[in-house]
């Protein structure tokens, strides 16, 4: 295990049912693994509420509230009003995760686009950062990001260095996680090498996306140590420098003072 002074996990799902058996045990173990901050990303309204409860209970957890593209067909018509109420909570630091997922045919793209735009408008209205999910939908995602110009993070970035350049031009940050450690990783490795250090944040997407050597197992924020080790190696810098800079970046994006 590498020395890991400060781990900030900008994207985890501790409300996920994968943690139902031992959620509090897992979360309470994080500070001893040098985790100093976690943003719990929501997938729907219920998960937004659950994230807020975690953020109220643990001083090192902050919540995002929002509806994931795979969940939008089940969300009530007054979702934006409900989210507007949640986003004034002092522990809610972002709107997310929101975006587009074209990997599956459902929900239909027009429904996803509609809810993505509604949530981007809410982010603009409240001047809140966003956490963007873009799976196989780069073109439409970039089109709407150019239209609304939100602040925030492209999470689990899967695009090319060229696409990363376009994200940087918008002033946004890029989140990298366990995929950089995968044997067949190509684009995430190229992106990890080219990003300016002040635009990179680390994430798990726990319980998913565990880095090697835990690939396929349940993930938690402490495992960022392995992702960080790989990115530091790719960039030729120390793990300490990477963790410290990415932690600063996360605090800047979300307006968090540690
Ligand atoms: Ni996620």
Domain-located, residue 1:
no
Q: With contact defined as beta carbons under 8 Å apart, do 69 and 112 qualify? A: yes
Range(s) of the domain holding residue 235 = 7-254
Domain-located, residue 198:
yes
Q: What is the CA(42)–ligand 1 centre distance, in A?
A: 8
User: Average pLDDT per run of 10 along the chain, which is 258 residues long?
Assistant: 72 98 98 96 98 98 98 96 98 98 93 98 98 97 98 96 97 97 94 98 96 94 96 96 96 95
Q: What local confidence, expressed as pLDDT, does residue 171 receive?
A: 98
Q: What is the distance between the alpha carbons of residues 38 and 30, in angstroms, rounded to a whole number?
A: 10
Q: What is the CA(46)–ligand 1 centre distance, in A?
A: 15
Q: What is the CA(12)–ligand 1 centre distance, in A?
A: 6
Task: Give the CATH number of the domain where residue 159 resides.
Answer: 3.20.20.140
Domain-located, residue 86:
yes
Q: What is the CA(134)–ligand 1 centre distance, in A?
A: 10
Q: What is the CA(135)–ligand 1 centre distance, in A?
A: 11
Q: What local confidence, expressed as pLDDT, does residue 5 receive?
A: 66
Q: What is the CA(126)–ligand 1 centre distance, in A?
A: 22
Q: What is the distance between the alpha carbons of residues 233 and 32, in angstroms, rounded to a whole number?
A: 24
Domain-located, residue 233:
yes
Domain-located, residue 243:
yes
Domain-located, residue 37:
yes
Q: What is the CA(77)–ligand 1 centre distance, in A?
A: 23
Domain-located, residue 2:
no
Domain-located, residue 103:
yes
Q: What is the pTM of this model?
A: 0.96
Q: What local confidence, expressed as pLDDT, does residue 4 receive?
A: 45
Q: What local confidence, expressed as pLDDT, does residue 129 receive?
A: 98
CA distances from 212 to 5, 178, 179, 209 (A): 20, 7, 9, 9
Count of structural domains, the chain: 1
CA distances from 30 to 5, 14, 24, 98, 136 (A): 12, 12, 10, 26, 32
Give residues whose Cβ lies within 5 Å of ion ligand 1.
41, 205
């Amino acid at each position: 295990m590498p020395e890991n002074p400060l781990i900030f996990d900008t994207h985890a799902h501790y409300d996920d049912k994968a943690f139902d058996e031992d959620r509090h045990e897992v979360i309470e173990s994080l500070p001893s693994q040098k985790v100093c901050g976690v943003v719990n990303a929501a997938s729907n309204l219920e998960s937004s509420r659950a994230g807020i409860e975690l953020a109220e209970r643990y001083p090192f957890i902050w919540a995002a509230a929002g509806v994931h593209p795979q969940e939008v067909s089940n969300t009530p018509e007054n979702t934006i009003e409900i989210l507007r109420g949640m986003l004034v909570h002092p522990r809610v630091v972002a709107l997310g995760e929101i975006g587009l997922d074209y990997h599956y045919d459902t929900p239909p793209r027009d429904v996803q686009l509609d809810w993505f735009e509604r949530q981007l408008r809410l982010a603009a209205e409240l001047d809140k950062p966003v956490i963007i999910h873009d799976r196989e939908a780069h073109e439409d995602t970039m089109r709407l990001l150019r239209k609304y110009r939100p602040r925030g993070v492209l999470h689990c970035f899967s695009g090319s260095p060229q696409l990363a350049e376009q994200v940087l031009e918008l002033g946004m940050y890029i989140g990298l996680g366990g995929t950089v450690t995968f044997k067949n990783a190509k684009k995430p490795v190229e992106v990890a090498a080219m990003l300016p250090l002040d635009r990179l944040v680390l994430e798990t997407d726990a319980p998913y996306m565990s880095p090697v050597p835990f690939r396929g197992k349940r993930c938690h924020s402490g495992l960022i140590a392995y992702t960080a080790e790989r990115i530091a190696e790719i960039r030729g810098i120390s793990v300490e420098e990477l963790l410290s800079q990415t932690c600063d970046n996360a605090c800047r994006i979300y307006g968090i003072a540690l």
